[in-house]
Structure 1
């Protein structure tokens, strides 16, 4: 693994806003690394829309710009002089990447702007599949390793990473009016989405729901590891290794997503290195 002395705009963006995926992308083949950084930079750009607007409509307009720009680029038109959009359009054309996959990611961010909490676990998994898992599948396509087996593994890894990410970012999401905890699990634990949003939910309610989500994430990781995949797409699946570390610290903290030690935890790079050397995620 080596880090270029000067990072590209895309890599710098990912390094700043998505350190986990930045770290995993460094294990991609050298000739594929920048393409992976570009994909992750696009994800950062559309994810930041939620944080950069005060009104949902303004965010919708920005997301529509991304959609229109990618469509224009695919048709050979202008992608504007945007430091991410311009090279991204070129990569989509050159590699024949499906525009529908990018649309799925944009649509997931539109849903985020609406701030509707998932009704149940199935809805939470669908949200993770339309965002995190969709990005994982695109990463496999960028690496040229998208097969039926890798797609199944990528779907499970992506859903697990999405569920874990929602737990890690619960406080941040709530500050933006976004609730990712399933309503039915909150009710079963004796709470409600309204109580969580207003800061009235007890620690017992939150830890109970977090534990269920964490166990579901571990199920998806286990299912992903039942599938035999080659080394070519390993960099796209390495978030599974990081998910293990985050779940371990959450469990150690009694599944309290608001424990400050959860936010402070940083996975050890040696885990990624060992996974890379063994070819196992």
Structure 2
């Protein structure tokens, strides 16, 4: 029954993605949803998606949480890690033990930072279409459970869907169209990251919670994340219109048994 439920959920997710591939879909929101779906379907702890810009430089565009985003940013800043290698080679790297020699010798800084974050295993899946690689999907685990061949194939299928979403144009040979799609997505990602920080500081909450509220508000009103973020940054939208997240409840003081 568990397998059948997973297959039904997988079918629903691919229909969800297909429904998103309209002329003016929100790339940032779609890739964040795909990151979340990886956690749901593959039972991993975190996921992130990297894209290459027009110059071939990798940029982080989506992550399931702030810890994963910062780790991916660290990898890019130090130009090392399975995600960077996966993009350059176009080959998947699965079940990498972050405590083993492969990681500690090959990517010592990345492996150390990943372990500090709490991850013990990682996987890097290329975002590719035929022989074209545009980025990488990265999965992280806090437990040493290995992913089987079926799980890796599913991760690659999700990565392929993300690639098709990015390169949605039918005439993929037109490189200027591809570059335009990537540049627009990367520019949108920067605006969204800025707004996440602004709202987190304004509401005195975590970046992840601020983004969840911002995204929920935008989706409920059929607004693109990038457009709403641009309006906020430009001062054309009053963030007071977005309901602030409820503060965490304060524990009640314990009663003094002495009365």
TM-score strictly above 0.5: no
Task: Please give the TM-score of this superposition, normalised by the length of structure 1.
Answer: 0.31
Larger Rg: 2
Task: Please give the TM-score of this superposition, normalised by the length of structure 2.
Answer: 0.33
Higher strand share: 2
Higher helix share: 1
